[in-house]
Structure 1
Amino acid sequence: MKGFLLSFRSEFYKTRKTLGFWGAIILPVLISSLAFVAVYTKSDNFVKMPPMGQWIQFSMIGLGSMGSLLLPIYTIFVAYSVNNVEHKADTWKTLFSLPISRWAVYSAKFLYALFLLFLCLTLFVVFNVAFGNLLSVVKPELKFNEYHIELLLIQVYYKLLLSALGILSIQFLLSLLWADFLKPMGLGFVATITGVILASNNWEYSYLFPYAHPMGAIKSMVKNNNGPARMLEIDIYTKDVYVSLIIAVVVFIAGYYIVQRKSVK
């Protein structure tokens, strides 16, 4: 456990000045700010909506972009940036020669990448709620303050996090094994575009393709219910999420055994 904590802490110090780390903060601020400006300038289109409708329209600006392209691409970039630190400095051999188990190093790197993903999505919830409530202050005719969407947003972004785990595990292993930029990032981008096409065209087996999971998670997030809109429920554990979790576990374990037996230069 001590080796794991030391490795995890070192990941923070090594990546705190990288775009992978700052992207977890910049993306939520930027997208939420753009959503704020969009609703502020077009407030007349939102005034007649009920408070819940205003929140949903406002939140979908960020959710739409995250579920389609931004989340998969950021996940790919995070997985690459965490391992690229070692590739760039050529410190893999030194790292694995330390009196810390390879399991501690490998798991700390993966969980740090997961932490950055978690931080990014958490900040999306925080800034979405903050900017929404700010709109009701600067534009009193908007009634964001009359409905609380916090729980629904937490559930939605939690589902998005789970849906991205399969991508993270695959890209983490690829970027660990390949030092160059083109192979892991290029394959990830092509797979993401393929996943978006499959999910957007409602292919019945798209849930088996991990890069289609974020968009699939957005499309399948609302439970079918005949109750009032106020009783809206988020269906978190859909089949795409289960497949994502299975892929994440299998690839994570397989990746460790590959790293354990491979001579990393």
Structure 2
Amino acid sequence: MKGFLLSFRSEFYKSRKTLGFWAAILLPLLISALALVIFYTQSHKFVRMDPMMLWVQFSMISLGIMGSLLLPMYTIFVAYSVNSIEHKADTWKTLFSLPISRWAVYSAKYFYAMFLVFLCLALFAIFTIGFGNLLASIKPELKFGQYHMEKQLLQLYFKMFLSSLGILSIQFLLSLLWADFLKPMGIGFVATITGVIMASKDWEYAYAFPYAHPMAALASAIKRGPGARRGPASEFVINILTNDVYVALGVAVVVFIAGYFIVRKRSVK
């Protein structure tokens, strides 16, 4: 555990000035701020909207962008950026020659990449909730204060995080084995476009393809509660454990473990 913590801390210090780290902070801030500006400047278009639908429209600006394309691409980029530091500096042999187990180094890198994805999505949830409540104060004619969607948004973003883990595991292994940028990013980009097409066309087996999981997870997230047919918006609940999430977690575990054995037996240059 000590070796893991040392390696994890080392990953933070190595990446804190990289684009992969700062994108986890800036992407949620900029996209959520864009949603704030749209609703503030175009408030007259949303005044008559139901409070629950107002929150849905506001949050879907961020959720739609993340679920359709940005989350898979960011996950692919993070997986590459964590390992590219070692590739560029040619320090793999030095890293694995340290008195720290190869398992600690490998798992620390993986969980740091996972942490960056989690940080990004957590900030999306925080900024969306915060800016929505800010609009309730500065634009009281908008009915943000009449409905609370904090729980549902946190559940949605947590589900999207789980749905991204299959992509993260696959891309992490690819970027670990290939030093160049084009191979892992190219494969990831083509797979993401394929996944988006599968999910957008509602293909019944899209849940089996990891790169379709973020968009499929968002589409399958919302279900109506027992009293929803009677109309109250509060009856909408989030269905977290759907097929796409189960497959994403299964792929993540299998590829993560397989990746370790591949790395342990492979001469990493």
Q: Distance in 1 between matches of 2:44 and 2:217?
A: 31
Matched residue, 2:208: 208
Identical pairs, percent: 72
Q: Distance in 2 between matches of 1:30 and 1:84?
A: 26
Moved more, 66-75 or 39-48: 39-48
Shift of 1:146: 2.1
Matched residue, 2:233: 229
Shift of 1:149: 1.1
The runs of 4+ residues in structure 1 deviating greater than 6 Å are none
Matched residue, 2:7: 7
Residue 261 (str. 1) matches residue 265 (str. 2): yes
Matched residue, 1:238: 242
Gaps of 5+ in 2: none
SS of the aligned residue for 2:222 comes to: coil
Matched residue, 2:45: 45
Moved more, 178-187 or 125-134: 125-134
Q: Distance in 1 between matches of 2:82 and 2:145?
A: 39
Q: Distance in 2 between matches of 1:224 and 1:258?
A: 44
Which letter maps to 2:189?
Answer: F
Which letter maps to 2:235?
Answer: M
Matched residue, 1:88: 88
Which letter maps to 1:168?
Answer: L
Shift of 1:130: 1.0
Matched residue, 1:76: 76
Which letter maps to 2:238?
Answer: I
Which letter maps to 2:156?
Answer: V
Which letter maps to 2:254?
Answer: V
Q: Distance in 2 between matches of 1:260 and 1:201?
A: 40
Q: How does 1:132-147 map to 2 (within 5 A)?
A: 132-147=132-147
Q: Would the aligned equivalents of 2:35 and 2:62 in 1 still touch at CA under 8 Å?
A: yes
Matched residue, 1:180: 180
Matched residue, 1:23: 23
Q: Distance in 2 between matches of 1:89 and 1:77?
A: 18
Q: Distance in 2 between matches of 1:55 and 1:224?
A: 17
SS of the aligned residue for 1:169 comes to: helix
SS of the aligned residue for 1:233 comes to: strand
Moved more, 38-47 or 78-87: 38-47
Give the TM-score normalised by the residue count of structure 1: 0.98
Shift of 1:39: 1.1
Shift of 1:160: 0.1
Matched residue, 2:161: 161
Superposed CA RMSD: 0.8
Q: Distance in 2 between matches of 1:97 and 1:234?
A: 47
Which letter maps to 1:49?
Answer: M
Q: Distance in 2 between matches of 1:18 and 1:152?
A: 32
2:255 pairs with one of 251, 257, 260: 251
Moved more, 98-107 or 127-136: 127-136
Deviation per residue, 1:45-95 (Å, 9 max, x gap): 211112211111100000000000000000000000000000010000000
Which letter maps to 1:3?
Answer: G
Which letter maps to 1:241?
Answer: V
Q: Would the aligned equivalents of 2:224 and 2:235 in 1 still touch at CA under 8 Å?
A: no
Q: How does 1:95-134 map to 2 (within 5 A)?
A: 95-134=95-134
Which letter maps to 2:85?
Answer: V
Shift of 1:139: 1.2
